[in-house]
Amino acid sequence: MEIREIASEKITEAVCKLFTDCNYYIGDDIMNALEQARENEDSQLAKNVLTQIIDNDKIAAKEQIPMCQDTGMAVLFVEYGDRVVVDGEGFYDAVEKGVAKAYIDGCLRKSVVDDPVFDRVNTKNNTPPIIHTKIVHGDKIRITAGGKGFGSENMSSVKMLTPSAGVEGVKKAVLDAVAYAGPNPCPPIVVGVGIGGTFERAAQLAKLATFRSISKPNPDERYAALERELLDTINKMNIGPAGLGGKTTALGVNIEASPTHIAGMPVAVNICCHACRHKSIEI
Ligand code: SF4
C-alpha cells in the first residue's frame, strides 16, 4: 500500500485560497437563484433589494473584495484519505496557518474572539477554525470550506424530537426556526436541515447541508420532495429579501439525514444568509 506525502505548505496555500475565493466569489448556484428570484418577484421593493445583492456580489468578484463586512468564522469539512501523510507541519496547524493567511493577506475581517464569555479578546487572525474531519479510504484530501456569518448562525436551532413527531414535526421545527429568524439572518436565506444522529451530529449535518449546492437536491426522492415543499412554504411567509416582504425568503432548503436512535429524531436547522459562501478543493 503506497503512502502519499503532501507538503504542509500545499495545504496552507489551498486553504488560504479557499477562504479568499469564497469571500470574493459567490457560487453560481446562489447567483442564478438570485437572478431567477428577481424575475419572479412582483414587488418592486423586493426586486430592488435583489438587484442590490446581485450588484454587490458582482462588484466583490470584479474588485476582489469581500461580498460582506462579516467575512465569517472559518468552517471546514475535511475528508482525509487514510493513505496520506502530511510532511512538515501537522495537518491542523497547516489549515490554521492557511486561515490566518487568508484573513490577514486578503483583508478579511477578523471576527473570532478567544474566550466566549469572559475575555472576548479578538485573536486577530480569525483562528481557530472549526474543522470537521472524516477519515476516508484513499490518498487524497478533500476540503470544503466556508466563512459563516453570525447574523444567520445565531438564528439556528436544534430540536430533540421523538419519532412520534413524524414528518409533520420536522416541518414544524424548520418553519418555526425560519419564522423566529424573520429578517435577522439577511434573507434570502439558505436553510440547512440536519435530521437524525445525535444532538451534535444533527447540528453538524445541518451545517454540511448549507455547504451543498442549492441546485443539487437530496438524492433520496422523499427528502428531495420535502426540500421542495419546505422551500415553497417558506417562500409564502412574506419575509422576503432583507425582510421587506416578497416571494423570496429562501433560495434553497437542503436536508441531510442520518441513522439515529430508536427513541429519537433530532432536527437541527442551520440558517445561512444570501452570502452563502463555500468552495471545495481536492488535493
Ligand atoms: S448574516 Fe450574512 S449577509 Fe448578513 S451580515 Fe452576516 S455574513 Fe453578511
- The string of pLDDT tens digits covering residues 185-212 is 999 999 999 999 999 999 999 999 999 9
Does residue 140 surpass a pLDDT of 80? yes
Residue with cell 422523499: 222
Report the DSSP pairing between strands 73-81 and 130-136. parallel
> What does the pLDDT look like over 114-128, one tens digit per residue?
999 999 999 999 999
Does residue 273 surpass a pLDDT of 80? yes
Three cell numbers, residue 7: 507538503
Structural Rg of the chain based on CA atoms: 19
Instruction: Give the model's pLDDT for residue 189.
Output: 98
CA 170/CA 212 separation, integer angstroms:
20
CA distances (Å), origin 67, targets 27, 165, 277: 12, 40, 9
The reply to whether ligand 1 has any atom less than 6 angstroms from the CB of 151 is yes
Instruction: Give the model's pLDDT for residue 30.
Output: 98
Laid out side by side, the sheet with 250-260 consists of: 157-161, 265-272, 189-197, 250-260
Residue with cell 476582489: 64
Instruction: Give the model's pLDDT for residue 147.
Output: 96
Residue 134's identity, in one-letter code, is K
Architecture category of domain 4-23+67-148 in CATH: 2-Layer Sandwich (3.30)
Nearest atom, ligand 1, residue 147 CA: 7
Instruction: Give the model's pLDDT for residue 136.
Output: 98
Say if CB 283 and CB 6 are below 8 A apart: yes
Instruction: Give the model's pLDDT for residue 21.
Output: 97
Give burial (CB, 10 Å; 0-12/13-18/19+) of 61: middle
Instruction: Give the model's pLDDT for residue 124.
Output: 97
Does residue 1 surpass a pLDDT of 90? no
Say if CB 280 and CB 143 are below 8 A apart: yes
The reply to whether ligand 1 has any atom less than 6 angstroms from the CB of 275 is yes
Over the range 69-100, which residues count as b (16 or more CB within 10 Å of their CB) and which as e? ebbbbbbbbbbbbeebebeebebeebbbbbbb
Share of the chain above pLDDT 90, in %: 100
pTM value is: 0.96
Three cell numbers, residue 67: 461580498
Share of the chain above pLDDT 70, in %: 100
CA 244/CA 5 separation, integer angstroms:
53
**Where are the domains positioned within the chain?**
4-23+67-148, 151-278
Nearest atom, ligand 1, residue 149 CA: 7
- Closest by CA to 247, choosing from 264, 232, 269, is 232
The reply to whether ligand 1 has any atom less than 6 angstroms from the CB of 152 is yes
Say if CB 187 and CB 241 are below 8 A apart: yes
Q: Name the 3-class secondary structure at 169.
A: helix
Residue of the CA atom closest to atom 1 of ligand 1: 151
Confidence of residue 184 (pLDDT cuts 50, 70, 90): very high
The reply to whether ligand 1 has any atom less than 6 angstroms from the CB of 71 is no
